[in-house]
Structure 1
């Protein structure tokens, strides 16, 4: 005899935009549940825990309630609810069992976070009432999260705007010591990621209070300026000198091989090197390549090799540092932009010196480009003129403000679409 009551077909459908997922290893139980409630609810079924999780991996945003039988082969209903609890916490979870077990009921609440624990055979009216309340519970959680996202979005925008305002002020103050600092900041912002940055920022911001944020932002801005000064003004030779590109690169690699090997990194020059020369600030160019090597070394999680290659195109020299490991993922790319991203934690331990690298490259009249994927990456590429450009009195172009702050609008739109 079936444990299910006779199906009813004249019930009004409610909340049609969200589905009920019913999980049971018995085909007859799946069929009867669907027939019993499909006129009132949008019901989908799965014949096992694995099938349910596979469905949720694609359609979780369409599910408001999961109803699962307890006793199934391989994995139980409580195990399914426990996994849903951590992966999709807003989905309401209802456990069904044909047995009266107090210990199981307690387990379903403690481990699976059950919304309700019901016994078979089901009472139809009780099940309908339970499903309606479960859908309402799910809707309340979704609305709560929506309001929280809106609140955090506003806070997020304020924090990022404050950070960028600080960087803009720092770039202006550094114009007396470095050339093209605003162009460097614009290039830095243009290459920074968007979606990954937002996902990480929102998690961080939600755990902080405004006083902590303000204090930390002030500290981070001081650290950023100190970092830039340490990486730019301190190593600058102050005068331009003529360098033989092959000799300079060979000497650079030779001096850093031993230290690199201690970090399980081998540095290799890609031959042939162009027989070319350039006139530049040797101290700054050396520090620029050091930063590139440091950033690539920090990204590798196992022994690797960094290839340094050089080429001459027109009146410019291109130098690339490429790691011999997989393409950079979104988290690694986001981690390069610590100066513009107000975060406490990083997926990998990076500092804020990439902004210094942009400042140096533009001070020398060149550019810096991140190459996240093959064949040119993963790595970074610099391009500097063979002869130093004329230094002009750099007035801030109003369009640069638009370029930098346009990124804020893009981040906000991405946040609203998420």
Structure 2
């Protein structure tokens, strides 16, 4: 695998209280790396903390007036553990450097005065290590997300097959029971039996109503599960505004929110248009808001925010963040929230099919949908939709797997060299 690296994709921060040495470092290496310099630990920390994701390597002198280099690198490690840390030491500080290496505080140490060609190779190897490490982390996250989608899809397909079988075997039985329930009131009239003359007419009326409701749920549940995994080769060519779709979806749930006195706050950012299937996205958001309306407590609060965003692979798109303030969710609940049979209340309005359907609509648009618990009574849905919906084809999936395996080989090689 031929690997090329952009050494200026991330910055190198060099810290030395000797101004001339810091200037020499920038002069030597600014053509190869994106270099920032500082002359004290505090100045370096201010530069680093403004944008910590910018820096791949932090190199510092050990002996400085206010604080030592190891102390600065400890702060860097706490903020960004993946950033590589290099300590420049004189021979008299060798014990401090060894202790720092043993404690994991630094990646390498170099002797002062440093030799520019040797240091250039050290910085290049460090930058390569950082870039490979970052690529590996991104690929691992993609692998985990793909595995999650695969597991959920497989489960839904199995449920769909199971439901199709149930529909076929139970159709006659369900039809007979439903027919009996539908004809029961008429048959009672033919027998000249007035239900109001029974000893407890309310009991029979409530029992009849409950039986009809539960029968409808059984039929609806089987049909919903059967429909979810069906092929959804719908056109993804509509161009539409996400803010408009969010507004329409909220308007559809306005009455449900008002009945439960749920306070809805919309923070619609820049009006972004994406390409996909307008109707599918609108239906997905309505299902999600329908779920919120059913499960938020009386007087709850819901905020919806839209903003431009890019995902971890660099795709531009839009982020929809939905925060609800209700009873909160446990870790166990979060893990099974997209389970089609997950029940959030003792008397649910529905099972978890709404969330699962919304998840697959987003996935069909090559987006992502996650949920997190932020505090004891705040749950957040994060939906990312790319500007252009485009599901990967078989060749793209194969190329992705090849990238994963190649990156594993590079990672193992670099670890062995280190």
Q: So what's the TM-score if we normalise by structure 2?
A: 0.43
Greater relative contact order (Cα < 8 A, sep 6+): 1
